[in-house]
A and B are shown apart, each in its own frame.
Chain A
Amino acid sequence: AQSVTQPDIHITVSEGASLELRCNYSYGATPYLFWYVQSPGQGLQLLLKYFSGDTLVQGIKGFEAEFKRSQSSFNLRKPSVHWSDAAEYFCAVGARGQNFVFGPGTRLSVLP
């Protein structure tokens, strides 16, 4: 069965600084990878997804993620964080015939 780990429970960055959120997955076949963001009191919004092709994918709100098969990783990045990016970020893995598995989430705090 697939699994997802997000090693960082909580990350704090200053506004304008760069950001990288880590995600590692375990799955025997080709996974479908997703990053979702959950703002306080809100539902989950899809930031980006990877199915195949170019391993660097662009998403909404200036986020990007890179799929590295050799490292079983799908890290999320943003070059310059805005205060409105403070939220909970979830990495998820899916596969044909399997349900989504979400990582435990990383809470991002942004300092002014």
Chain B
Amino acid sequence: DTAVSQTPKYLVTQMGNDKSIKCEQNLGHDTMYWYKQDSKKFLKIMFSYNNKELIINETVPNRFSPKSPDKAHLNLHINSLELGDSAVYFCASSQASGRGSSYNEQFFGPGTRLTVL
């Protein structure tokens, strides 16, 4: 029983393409997140999404757009991929409420390694 799952695990694509990464959680959590981990292992939050509200990190280019069809899913769509987008992207979820509240631990997916050629 995978708590937070992501697909695909690996994604290799050409510069300029559009791609999506899917995330699903079966924990009944109401908040989901996307993180980017760069080559130096630094983790940075990109988005958090709590039912009705999407919190966007201002440093994330608008080529990145999260889409949440329902509470259990938060997909990440990336337009016009660039070399610098190569990274590992982690989805996470937590049981929290309120704007970006993070006082409960987050459960992470296995990650999607994106390589842009």
Q: Which of A's residues lie within 8 Å of B, judged by CB?
A: 32, 34, 36, 38, 42-46, 49, 51, 88, 90, 94-102, 104-105, 107
Assess the A43–B109 pair: CB atoms within 8 A: yes
Which A residues touch B45, using CB under 8 A?
99-101
- Total chain B interface residues with beta-carbon distance under 8 A: 25
Least Cβ distance of A37 to chain B in Å? 11
What's the Cα separation between A97 and B41 when bound, in Å? 25
Which A residues touch B92, using CB under 8 A?
44
What's the Cα separation between A98 and B105 when bound, in Å? 13
Q: Which of B's residues lie within 8 Å of A, judged by CB?
A: 4, 33, 40-45, 48, 55, 90, 92, 98-103, 105-111
Assess the B101–A105 pair: CB atoms within 8 A: no
Assess the A43–B98 pair: CB atoms within 8 A: no
Given pairs A32-B103, A98-B102, 5 additional interface contacts (CB within 8 A) = A43-B4, A94-B103, A97-B100, A101-B45, A102-B42
Which A residues touch B33, using CB under 8 A?
99-100
Assess the B90–A98 pair: CB atoms within 8 A: no
Is the contact region of chain A dominated by helix, strand, or loop, or is it mixed? Answer: strand
Q: Identify which of B42, B101, B108 contacts A96 (C-beta below 8 A).
A: B101
Q: Identify which of B41, B100, B102, B107 contacts A88 (C-beta below 8 A).
A: B41
Assess the A104–B102 pair: CB atoms within 8 A: no
A98 and B100 contact, Cβ closer than 8 Å, known pairs A43-B90, A44-B90, A104-B41: yes
What's the Cα separation between A88 and B101 when bound, in Å? 25
Assess the B42–A105 pair: CB atoms within 8 A: yes
Which A residues touch B106, using CB under 8 A?
46, 100
Least Cβ distance of A29 to chain B in Å? 11
Most buried by A among B48, B98, B99, B100: B100
Which A residues touch B42, using CB under 8 A?
102, 104-105
Residue of A nearest to B91 (CB): A43
Which A residues touch B110, using CB under 8 A?
42-43
